[in-house]
Structure 1
Amino acid sequence: MFRRIVPRDRALLALLAEHYLLSSSQIAAAFFDSLRIAQRRLTVLHRLGVVHRFAYPNAEHTAVPYLYTLGPVGLQLYPDAYDDPDSRYGRAPRNALERARRIAASATAAHLLGVNQFFVDLLAATRLPNASGARLVRWWSEQHATDVYAQSGIRPDGHGIWHAHEHTVGFFLEHDRGTEDLPRVVAKLRAYARLAEFGPRYPVLLWLPTLQREANVLRLLAGVNTPMPVATAVHGPDPAGRVWTLTTDLPAGAAAAGGCTSCRPSTAPAPAPTPAATTTDRHRPSRLVPHPDGISSGCSPRLRRTRLTAQVNAALAPRTADRRGR
């Protein structure tokens, strides 16, 4: 049995142990050259009991992709897998089937799939012909990151370290589905600010569902100083692309106008950058330094949308006040 599980299968099982569930299309994007090839291999793994699969019905009664989680064999290989997305300290499931049922019934399943899609899109970007060494160095789930950074009280939807274009940047993800009021979304930044006082100042990425919601967030955060960079972008297929705008990177008057002027057409001349956007800003690259473990923890703001790692200034020296945040 175990001889039939190849390294690619083990890599998939490690993700399912950490992140609960992935759709067939997500698995195909992360590991396979086509959806058909992925489906064939997943069928084999399902028949061997390596993975469980289920699907949610929809109102149109059309075909929906299977969602995969660990089966009994997969759980034998990863006995320390997270077992309940809704309760971190509840009773452990008796078997893999009970674990799968918990995940399928979870109120956070749709949110988990959205968060996982963000990271899968990063993985898919590493497999492109022009990836040039890009890689997702780390992908931690909400529960993993919450445990590691418990002292600060943060609860990110995910934590990652992304390497591309000869730069490496760590980040925390807040995946927004438009289900919370904006003040509550913005209030989450307080815990990240506490972490930044003694740990890494990783950028906080606000991944938002619409341009209008992004504009509202940027308006709320205009003029708000935080010890870590905060960047926004709208849900899309390429989070590694030129899609990010830092909250300190708005021209004068943009907040009053309703958000970032770089993401909407305008007939008026572009206003001059605010004088406050200088190297005195705590967000600016002259003040953002790598984490002591060698991972850069900041973004360099630009007026236009930038890539996740295009902003990193890798030449900066570590700050002496940094302490362990891992």
Structure 2
Amino acid sequence: MPTTTPQPNPGYVPRAATRRRRPPQPSRARTDLAQLATRLTPRDLWLIRMLHEHKVLTSRHIAALAFPCQRTANRRLRDLYFMGVLDSFRPLRTRGSAPEHYTLGKAGAELLAAQAGVDLPATGWRKDNCARTAFSPTLEHTLGVNTLLTHLATHTTLPVWLSERSATRLWGDWVHPDAYAHTTAPDGSRLLPFFLEYDTGSYNLARLEAKLPGYAALAATTGTRTLLLIHTAGARRETAIRQRLADSADRLDLPVATTNTQLGSPTHPIWLPLNPPPTGRLTPTQLAAHWPDITPALTDTSLLPAPAPAPASGRHAPLPWHPTPPRPPTPGTA
């Protein structure tokens, strides 16, 4: 199990991989879902849902979450790629090499649709899904969010991890966080529910400050009080964020803590609350003790929002949404 958090490399030059080729085979062999289903484990089905939820995960993310070692992960991921369940690309780097990046393949999306009883377009999958992800201007941001939450999932108990899309579906009338999650102390004694704003330094601080009233409105409307974690690129940026947001957070009575990439693992004492200021940086468990009145915005994962209405064309019902657990049901099994 990795002991360090893999960091997205700013030297990415996104480009779909061209080395890997699927062997030629009849198209029917790759789209026979009944036959394919007999070859997939519960862990494979979990991975399909994870990639639908979080768009892209590297081989290192997947190995840390679900496999005993990287070699075993690579072998199974290669098999799933050749089945068409996954697609992959490897961005070029100005230095070194990037790990394989995996997205949902056509067969995986078809299985997802079949399980939900909807048509393939309801999953949002497109034939250019892999290329769109590889060339996305937000790829580095997405990888940063997924790397941070993967590290929390593998080094703490993380029973809930919702992507930006799912969080927006639940709370989009108020906020659009980059993620929402619950983490607990090793003994399960303290729950820390939090929203995550992952700041790469690409937009001005006024835009970040403008998000705070939405979090305050959500808390007032729902009667909850959920921590907002802000993770940013460097120490100077964090200092600027703290100076800009301190008064607003205090006025709105928002629990906010900040950190930056240079401080290392998110499970270590790297988080610094805005108000009231502690004597030093805290771990996630210590944050829960610092704000004992913290409550989760999502109190019952079985209480899901009703599916959105079908688009005007009316041809495809939306894919029913269910939260995907951050770890597979049987980790480490073949």
TM-score (norm 2): 0.68
1:44 to 79, 88, 92: 79
Q: Could you say which residue in structure 1 is the equivalent of 2:230?
A: 206
Does the 8 Å CA contact 1:51/1:71 hold for their aligned counterparts?
Answer: yes
Q: Could you say which residue in structure 2 is the equivalent of 1:72?
A: 106
Does the 8 Å CA contact 2:225/2:293 hold for their aligned counterparts?
Answer: no
Which letter maps to 1:211? A
Does the 8 Å CA contact 1:204/1:231 hold for their aligned counterparts?
Answer: yes
Whole-angstrom CA distance in 2 between matches of 1:80 and 1:66: 27
Segments of 5+ residues of structure 2 without an aligned counterpart are 1-35, 116-120, 306-334
Whether 1:304 and 2:280 are equivalent positions in the alignment is yes
Does the 8 Å CA contact 1:197/1:227 hold for their aligned counterparts?
Answer: no
Q: Could you say which residue in structure 2 is the equivalent of 1:84?
A: none
Whether 1:144 and 2:166 are equivalent positions in the alignment is yes
Whole-angstrom CA distance in 1 between matches of 2:219 and 2:63: 36
Q: Could you say which residue in structure 1 is the equivalent of 2:177?
A: 156
The structure whose RCO (Cα within 8 Å, separation 6+) is larger is 2
Q: Could you say which residue in structure 2 is the equivalent of 1:106?
A: 136
Q: Could you say which residue in structure 2 is the equivalent of 1:294?
A: none
Whole-angstrom CA distance in 2 between matches of 1:97 and 1:163: 39
Greater Cα offset, 212-221 or 101-110:
101-110
> How does 1:249-260 map onto structure 2 within 5 Å?
249-250=276-277
Whole-angstrom CA distance in 2 between matches of 1:315 and 1:216: 27
Whole-angstrom CA distance in 1 between matches of 2:233 and 2:294: 36
Q: Could you say which residue in structure 2 is the equivalent of 1:181?
A: 204
- Offset of residue 228 of structure 1: 2.4
Distance 1:94 1:18, change over 3 A: closer
Q: Could you say which residue in structure 1 is the equivalent of 2:272?
A: 245
- Offset of residue 237 of structure 1: 4.7
> Deviation string for 1:300-322 (max 9, x for gaps)?
xx32111113233597698xxx9
> How does 1:160-171 map onto structure 2 within 5 Å?
160-165=181-186, 166-171=189-194
Whole-angstrom CA distance in 2 between matches of 1:317 and 1:24: 34
Does the 8 Å CA contact 2:87/2:103 hold for their aligned counterparts?
Answer: yes
Whole-angstrom CA distance in 1 between matches of 2:271 and 2:78: 38
Whole-angstrom CA distance in 2 between matches of 1:104 and 1:79: 23
| Matched position secondary structure for 2:202 | coil
Does the 8 Å CA contact 1:149/1:325 hold for their aligned counterparts?
Answer: no
Which letter maps to 1:109? L
TM-score (norm 1): 0.70
Paired-residue identity, %:
32
2:70 to 19, 26, 35: 35
Segments of 5+ residues of structure 1 without an aligned counterpart are 82-90, 127-134, 251-301
| Matched position secondary structure for 2:282 | coil
Does the 8 Å CA contact 1:249/1:303 hold for their aligned counterparts?
Answer: no
- Offset of residue 223 of structure 1: 3.6
Distance 1:220 1:96, change over 3 A: closer
Whether 1:221 and 2:245 are equivalent positions in the alignment is yes
Distance 1:160 1:7, change over 3 A: same
- Offset of residue 243 of structure 1: 1.4
Which letter maps to 1:194? A
1:192 to 212, 215, 233: 215
2:154 to 118, 124, 127: 124
Does the 8 Å CA contact 1:195/1:325 hold for their aligned counterparts?
Answer: no
Whole-angstrom CA distance in 2 between matches of 1:99 and 1:245: 38
Distance 1:237 1:49, change over 3 A: farther
Whole-angstrom CA distance in 2 between matches of 1:310 and 1:205: 14
Which letter maps to 2:244? L
| Matched position secondary structure for 2:102 | strand
Does the 8 Å CA contact 2:167/2:180 hold for their aligned counterparts?
Answer: yes
- Offset of residue 161 of structure 1: 1.2
Find runs of 4+ consecutive structure 1 residues off by over 4 angstroms: 91-96, 313-318
Does the 8 Å CA contact 2:109/2:123 hold for their aligned counterparts?
Answer: no
Whole-angstrom CA distance in 2 between matches of 1:121 and 1:71: 25
Whole-angstrom CA distance in 1 between matches of 2:83 and 2:264: 33
Greater Cα offset, 94-103 or 190-199:
94-103
